[in-house]
Structures are given as structure tokens and as C-alpha cells.
Amino acid sequence: MKESVGVSGPVASPAPLAECPEWRAFLQAAKAADRGAQVLRVVEAAGLHLDLSAQAWSEDLRQAGEALLAARGFDDARRTLLEGGIANVTEHRAAWHTALRAEPSPVPEVGVERDRVRAFVRRVDGDGRYKSVLHIGIGGSDWGPKLVVSALGYAGARREVRFVANIDGHAMEAGVLGLDPHATLVVVSSKSFSTIETMRNAERAIEWLRDGGVAEPMAQVAAVTSNVAAAQKLGVPAEQIFRFWDWAGGRYSVWSSIGLPIALALGAEALDGLLEGAAAMDAHFARAPLSGNAPVQLALAGLANRSAFGYATYNIAPYDARLGNLVPYLQQLEMESLGKSVDVGGATVTVPTGPVVWGMPGTDGQHTFFQWLHQGPEGAPVDFIICREADHPYPEHHRLLVANCLAQREALLRGKSVAELVPEQRTKAANDDEARWLACHKAHHGGRPSNLIVLPRLAPQALGALLALYEHKVFVQGAVWGIDVYDQWGVEYGKVLATGIAAELGGGPAGEHDVSTAYWVGRWK
Ligand code: F6P
């Protein structure tokens, strides 16, 4: 159980949010604001259009949002982030992902490493030996490249990239199925180069090369890491180790050498485009006035939804079959960053923080959980994400996709009341009572908030801008809540317990457990 600690650590807590007058004024203004999309609010940022019209809005709310940001020190926090100051206070380091995509980068080594990655990809392309890449990594060392390769390489890539993340041996078995060991490059990506899943899977992959008759397996292994010494210890050739830095958080690292599989699958131009789009969003975030600042407005809408309207979850609905991996990518980004209960000073946060993030591409989601979104008592804010232009040759399909996206959004917002439905049901029902009964079943709550994000098309630039939009939105919310969005201590405890249990299962001494865990450890032994 989490107890609130009286804290006198190295970092001071901000004023408790629940007692902050600007917070109260913000919530009050949100509750009083129009929620019926009476004002068109479209913000343009880095080529994307963000339509916030279906969120609570009023002039008072705009002012209250800006006063809240000022009260929480947003300007200074943003400067610290963008200038590479200590944004990650509990690990005492920067969270300088923007330096990874700036051109030129303020960190000269970034440019050097970018060049090394590109030279390596040219060498691999020129050599023509590798038909496939087996990528080993998990979490932030997996979701980013997997998302980009699956989204932009949906219709084929230069070479197949298989992603193996899970420690479940079935993942490895499926990962190598049908691959030719002599024509496969293994890429091991891990910031720490100590994550148990990645290390074990890397060992299996090297074994697989050796068992497949590869005379020098390590010559076919590349590594991406901030722990170069560990990669060298594994035997990865120095010229095939690509580094990044501890100031690039795992879930913010797709912009670093972690993007290597993207370049191997889609060419270095795809990686360049991704960085360019993200850098354009960084420039927008740094300079656009608050009322037209897309990440800021997305964040404020999310804060109102979480605290003024009590939505505990947040749905991501990409109306693009290529963006299936965007959902887990954003789950990690949002929930590892915002799933915190204490502020930077260690005091308990007095309001709810990050919501549960979930979703699925539309239109599949419509046949899975949209019923709940429309008629369940709680509902959830939804981010609808769609491309203006499709890249396939079936215009009719895109017309229907767009129509469904807009229609679902409209239905969530507009709703349909019993009073509206009764006359319609009269023609279908035997009598007035039955008409009313049917109307009750068919009524839609309405008033449910959503955002619409329109990308011109799914090009690398647009995808980069989209991911950076969410990164900055998360940052703004963290600044208001006063939490460290760049650490993830909550994943450590389970890892420690798993190490102990694994030792017990392997014959080690019994540890101290609750009755159920002790029972199952015993059964497996
Ligand atoms: O899930 C916990 C975590 O530390 C993530 O933050 C990180 O992205 C992932 O593990 C993988 O870590 P690494 O890149 O060090 O293997």
C-alpha cells in the first residue's frame, strides 16, 4: 500500500493541485463550458490538423487553462525540457529526445551516430546478403520501430523485419520460422543491455545462427544501446554497435539509433522524414501561442476530461489499418509516463493522474467496443486519427472509412434522446408503450468528447509529427500534475520478484511469498 510521505528530499513538491486556485478555476470553467461543438476549433501543427471542437470550450476555459499553466511553471519546465536541462529529476538527467531530431543536433555526437547508422544501412544495402532482419528488443526498444515499420512498410519493405520482444519462447520460435540464418541480420536493441527478455532472446538468436551453420554468428549481430561495454562483452563487433545516451528515455528513443530497423526496412529517407516531422512539431510546441498550440490544447482537453468530467480511460481510434501498433506505442508513452501517484517532491498527488489508454483501429473497433463508448454509463474520450489521402487504389474504401470516422464522432457528441426516438419507433412498434420501450434501448448518451487528428497522408513526416504531438501532450500534463514523466520505477519491483522466483523455479532456495504465489511456485517446481 502506498503511504503519503512527509518529504524533504532534493526536489520541492509543487503546491497540492487540489488546493490550487487556478486548478479549481480551470475545473469550474470546464464544467460551465459548452460541450456541444458550437465553435469550430481546428489547430494546425507541423502539417497535421487537430480538431478540438468536440471538447468543452469557452473563453473562460481558455483563460483558466493559461492561468493554470502559468501557476504550474509551464514556461520554465518547457525551457528545461527543450534546452536539455534536468527534466527527469529522479534519475537526475535530461529527457532530450528533441535533440535527437533537431537538425543539426545541439549534441554533436548525435550527428556522428546518425551518420554511422546511415553508413551501416548503405553497407547492408550494397552487400545484398541480408534478406531479413531479426530484431530483438522490448518496450521502448521495440514499439517505436515496430510501429513505424508496420505503418510505413504496410505494402512491403526492402527486407522483412521480424520483431521478437516477449520472453515467451513462442515469440522466438515464430520470429525465426522460415528465416534463412545465413541471410538474417540480428539487431539487439536495449538501452540498458540488461533487460532479461532481450538478453535471453539475444542468446537464443545467436544460438539459432550457430545451429543454422553460420560460422561467425557475431558478425551477423548489430546492437543499439547506451551500454556499449555490455554489447562488446556479448561479442558484438565494435563497428556494429550503435549508441544512444542515458538522456534519451526508452519510450522516447525511436528518434535515436533505435530507428536502425526502420532504415533497414524502409531506407534512411524514412528515418530522416520521421525526424523532420517530429522536429517540426517541436518547433510548433516551442513557439506557437498557447491557444493555438496543439500539444498544449490536447493536454488541457485531457486534463478537463480526467478531472472535470471524471473519465478514467482514454480511447485511441486510428481510422487507418496501418496504425494498429500506435495503440500499444501510446499505451507505453502515456501510461509509463503518467501512471504516477507522487509528485516530483515525493508527495502524493491530490488529483487523479494519467488515464488508462486503450483502443484499436477503426472500423474494427466499431464492431468490438464502440457499443460501450456510445451506451455504456461511463464512456471515454476518443482520439480519432485519420489520413486525408489514402495510399491504396480503392477510393470507395477511403470514402467509407472517412464517413465512418466522422459519423462515430458525431454520434458520440450528438447522442440521441428518448424523446427524439419515440416518434421514429412508433412505425415499428405495436403500441406507444412498446415504442417508448424500444426508444429507451436505442437512446445514445451524447456529449462525449473526442479529438479528430487529420494527417495529410501516412508519410514519415506526418507520423513523426503525430508521435511528437503525443510526447509533448504528455509532458504538458506532467507539468500540471507536477510529476516526473520520464522515470518508470513501477516496472522495477515486479522485475526483482521475477528474478527471485525464476531462481526458485530453477532449484534455488524458497523465498517468502503469499500463500497463492508459494502454492504455484511449489507446483511448477
Ligand atoms: O518496461 C520497462 C522498460 O524499462 C521501458 O521503459 C523500456 O523501454 C524497456 O523496459 C526496455 O528497456 P531496455 O531498452 O533497457 O532493454
Q: Inform me whether the pLDDT recorded for 458 exceeds 90.
A: yes
Give the total number of structural domains in the chain. Answer: 1
- Is 235 inside any structural domain? yes
Cβ of 297 less than 6 Å from ligand 1: no
Quote the pLDDT of residue 2: 45
User: Which of 251, 257, 491, 495 maximizes ligand 1 atoms within 8 Å of its Cβ, making it the mutation to test the pocket?
Assistant: 491
Average pLDDT of the chain, as a whole number: 96
pLDDT confidence band for 1 (50 / 70 / 90): very low
Residue whose CA is at the smallest distance from ligand 1 atom 8? 140
The pLDDT value given to residue 7: 64
Give the domain range for residue 172.
Answer: 106-273
* Residue 289 belongs to some domain of the structure: no
Note whether residue 228 is domain-resident: yes
Whether 306 is in the pocket of ligand 1, judged by its Cβ within 6 Å, is no
Number of Cβ atoms within 10 Å of the Cβ of 4: 12
User: What was the pLDDT predicted at 8?
Assistant: 75
Q: What percent of the chain has pLDDT over 90?
A: 96
Question: According to the model, what pLDDT value does residue 38 have?
Answer: 83
* Per-residue pLDDT tens digits for 283-326: 999 999 999 999 999 999 999 999 999 999 999 999 999 999 99
Q: Is residue 236 part of a domain?
A: yes
Give this complex's ipTM.
0.98
Region of 507 please: left (phi>0), alpha (psi -120 to 50) or beta.
left
Rounded distance from Cα 221 to ligand 1 centre (Å) = 20
Residue identifier of the C-alpha nearest atom 9 of ligand 1: 139
Strand partners, 315: 358, 382
Query: Is the pLDDT at 219 greater than 80, yes or no?
Result: yes
Confidence at residue 358, expressed as pLDDT on a 0 to 100 scale: 98
Counting ligand 1 atoms within 8 A of each CB, the residue from 91, 135, 191, 198 with the most, and so the one to mutate, is 191
57 in a domain, yes or no? Answer: no
Q: What is the mean pLDDT of residues 267-275?
A: 97
Cα-to-centroid distance, 142 and ligand 1 (Å): 9
Q: Convert the pLDDT of each residue in 133-190 to its tens digit.
A: 999 999 999 999 999 999 999 988 999 999 999 999 999 999 999 999 999 999 999 9
Confirm whether 259 is domain-assigned. yes
Catalytic residue status for 367? yes
Q: Is 213 inside a domain boundary? A: yes
* Residue found under cell 494527417: 455
pLDDT at 416: 95
Query: Which string of DSSP letters, residue by residue, matches 307-355?
Result: IIS---EEEEEESSGGGTTHHHHHHHHHHHHH--SB-TTSPBPSS--PP
Tell whether 325 is covered by a domain. no
Minimal-distance CA residue to ligand 1 atom 16 = 190
CATH number for position 251 = 3.40.50.10490
| Burial annotation 211-224 (CB, 10 A radius, 16+ → b, else e) | eeebeebeebbbbb
pLDDT, residue 37, reads 74
Q: Which atom, in ligand 1's list, is nearest to the CA of 195?
A: 16
Is residue 336 annotated as a catalytic residue, yes or no? yes
CB 243 within 8 A of CB 206: no
Contact criterion met (CB below 8 Å) for 248 and 213 = no
Position 379 pLDDT exceeds 50: yes
Report which secondary-structure segment, H or E, holds 283: helix 268-287
Rounded to 5, what percent of the chain is helix, strand, coil? Answer: 55, 10, 35
